[in-house]
Structure 1
Amino acid sequence: MKKLLLLLAIMATSQTGFSAGKYDNPDTLVVARDGTGEFRNIDDAIEVCRAFMDYHKVIYVKKGTYKEKLIIPSWLQNIEICGEDAEKTIITFDDHANIKRTDNGKPMGTFRTYTLKIEGNAITLKNITIENNSARLGQAVALHTEGDRLVFINCRFVGHQDTIYTGTAGTRLYFKDCYICGTTDFIFGPSTAWFEGCTIESLVNSYVTAASTPQDQPFGYVFNNCRLIAGGTAEQCYLGRPWRPYAYTLFMNCELGEHIRSEGWENWRNPENEKTTRYLEYNNRGAGAQPQQRVAWSHQLTKKEATKITPQAVFNRNDGWNPWK
């Protein structure tokens, strides 16, 4: 009888949602390098989060420089990493593509160089810098995304070549009021991503984007109300070149600096790409906005066409995701 009562008590406890672990709750976790938080490293805070959480969990990161190579794994969701100050809360690492791997002595390659890799869904970053501070010795990714429904608000992404890799087709990303800098193809990949009110800084003469949008994916990169500026030695930059033949990139309502080349786009030395690439603009302004001089295979949207391109239309999956609310 006692065993039966004990079993019933355990079942009742589990049904009321009793947390088995100290951190199995929606409380905020605090990370601080100076020891004033629960954790000194962000990775330690990520490690204690429960798999497939159905509640929102905040990891609050105090000002400081965190030299960490981080992965938010696929079994984590509904996590928000919020920095105290975007310019003074920095996650940094320095891998680059030509570093020799310890397991076989071969170069690391682009896709292992990330500072932060996000595999999980429904992850949010706010007020934080993600940096790859490698010297210019090869491709060096700061942010590598694979998850869906990812949101980045008031974040800074700092690097050189390949700063942001949006790595999985069909996933949706929303960047709001972010700063992104780099040299070559520093926003690249197959995901669908909306950039709203972001500042995009080119550091050398090269390419801003290298989308690899799949043919059956209706949208790739959309930049709305963004500002493209030049830093470093940048004077002549293309808006993009197609990493894959059906690359989709749209700049609308953006301020384009004088460093943007009058032809706007490049075919990656392959004229066949001109037949399939989807390069679009609408209502841009500034010295770099010269629609009459753009390559003939790009397209200037009409007002009617542009009004149909909204976050709702771009992210439509009938799942109610609304990151811009």
Structure 2
Amino acid sequence: MIVAKDGSGNFTAIQEAIDSIPEKNEDKVIIQMKGGIYEEKLIINKPFVVLEGMENEEVIISFGDYAKKLGEGGAELGTFGSYSTLITGANFYAKNITFRNDAGPGTEVGQALAMYVDADKCRFEDCSFLGSQDTIFLGPLPPKPMKGNSFGGPREGAEKKVGHSYFNRCYIQGDVDFIFGSGVSVFENCEIFSLDRGMDVNGYITAASTPKHSEFGFVFINCRLTSNAAADSVYLGRPWRDFAKTVFINCWMGEHIKREGWDNWNKSQAETTTYYGEYNSHGPGGNMDARVSWARVLTEQEVKQFSSEKILDFLNSI
């Protein structure tokens, strides 16, 4: 199927193409998109969907919802209702697409997700993810809300199955906790760009909520961590939940990365339960000797378990 805003394809809106797919689809469905800005709050709830931007054409999926925005009934949308794109269909593949939330900085609008993934076996290649606070959420939702509050959003009450996802040659932009959640995800050959908020602490790249018994959480391999923020002002991560797992392997890090690397989010108990590790970090912000005492410097033997093929057994099937 071809989606084109100018009417030259089968559909003029992406959601129309998704909605035309059978609920229990079992075959790969390729949806190609011609260039343009598709202003849609997109829900991809069918399995085996392939979404491709046509070669040499810029395809942007963009919406501007945000946590503090009032929805139906006058209630705020909240973090998980603020998404621009939501994926709940397994075996999803995207290529050459920019996913954007253009609501604005979190200091003004709160959280604003560009991408909400709550599905297994998802793959993104040559894609961009643009947002500020909470750019990418990798589900499912953690089992317990913080401070007893309801999560809200479209996936509250859904069955909690840890999803697996792969990001290759992608560009991800944000500031506070902009890659977060409980999914198992590998980021390989990606650029991770931290925005400047003009503050002493300009942000946190990750906020994992990895389930206690999950072997892996977020793994970054051969990535570049870049920024326009001041030196020594961005953390690699902080634990949304106590058993957060995040690892950086062979990554170049700019001077914006804080010397200590990691923050405990004012939860001292998390220092004994998190798994934060690095191997061969390099660049101005890659001095592993200066990290907090409770972070790990991985050995050559330990790092072998973190290959994308070992963590994600579906890579050769998509």
**TM-score, structure 2 length as denominator?**
0.88
Name the residue aligned to 1:59: 31
Spell out the pairing of 1:1-325 with structure 2 (5 A cutoff). 29-73=1-45, 76-84=46-54, 88-103=58-73, 105-136=74-105, 137-168=109-140, 170-204=162-196, 205-231=202-228, 236-316=233-313, 321-323=314-316
Offset of residue 285 of structure 1: 1.0
Offset of residue 78 of structure 1: 1.1
Deviation track 1:130-176 (CA, whole Å, cap 9, x = no partner) reads 00000221100000011100000000000000000001252100000
C-alpha separation in 1, matches of 2:234 and 2:92: 32
Tell whether the 8 Å contact from 1:86 to 1:128 is kept in structure 2 after alignment: no
- State the percentage of identical aligned residues: 42
Amino acid at match of 1:174: Y
C-alpha separation in 1, matches of 2:21 and 2:34: 18
Tell whether the 8 Å contact from 2:133 to 2:178 is kept in structure 1 after alignment: yes
Aligned residue for 2:301, secondary structure, equals helix
> For the structure 1 residues 87 and 158, does the alpha-carbon distance in structure 2 shift closer, same or farther, using more than 3 Å as the test?
farther
> For the structure 1 residues 80 and 235, does the alpha-carbon distance in structure 2 shift closer, same or farther, using more than 3 Å as the test?
same
Aligned residue for 2:15, secondary structure, equals helix
Amino acid at match of 1:80: V
Structure 1 regions of 5+ residues with no counterpart?
1-28
Structure 2 regions of 5+ residues with no counterpart?
141-160, 197-201
Offset of residue 228 of structure 1: 0.3
C-alpha separation in 1, matches of 2:304 and 2:208: 23
C-alpha separation in 2, matches of 1:324 and 1:273: 37
Amino acid at match of 2:41: K
Aligned residue for 1:273, secondary structure, equals helix
C-alpha separation in 2, matches of 1:91 and 1:142: 9
Name the residue aligned to 2:147: none
C-alpha separation in 2, matches of 1:66 and 1:234: 36
Amino acid at match of 1:191: G
Name segments (4+ residues, structure 1) moved above 4 Å.
Answer: 232-235
The structure having more radius of gyration, on CA atoms, is 1
Deviation track 1:161-210 (CA, whole Å, cap 9, x = no partner) reads 00000012521000000000001000000000000100000003110000
Aligned length: 290
> For the structure 1 residues 86 and 253, does the alpha-carbon distance in structure 2 shift closer, same or farther, using more than 3 Å as the test?
farther
**TM-score, structure 1 length as denominator?**
0.86
Deviation track 1:243-281 (CA, whole Å, cap 9, x = no partner) reads 000000000011011100110000001111101011010
C-alpha separation in 1, matches of 2:55 and 2:266: 42
Deviation track 1:36-59 (CA, whole Å, cap 9, x = no partner) reads 111110001111112232221110
Amino acid at match of 1:200: I
Offset of residue 315 of structure 1: 2.6
Greater shift, 175-184 or 231-240, is seen at 231-240
C-alpha separation in 2, matches of 1:79 and 1:95: 24
C-alpha separation in 2, matches of 1:157 and 1:46: 21
> For the structure 1 residues 258 and 234, does the alpha-carbon distance in structure 2 shift closer, same or farther, using more than 3 Å as the test?
closer
C-alpha separation in 2, matches of 1:176 and 1:87: 19
Offset of residue 101 of structure 1: 1.6
C-alpha separation in 2, matches of 1:92 and 1:315: 29
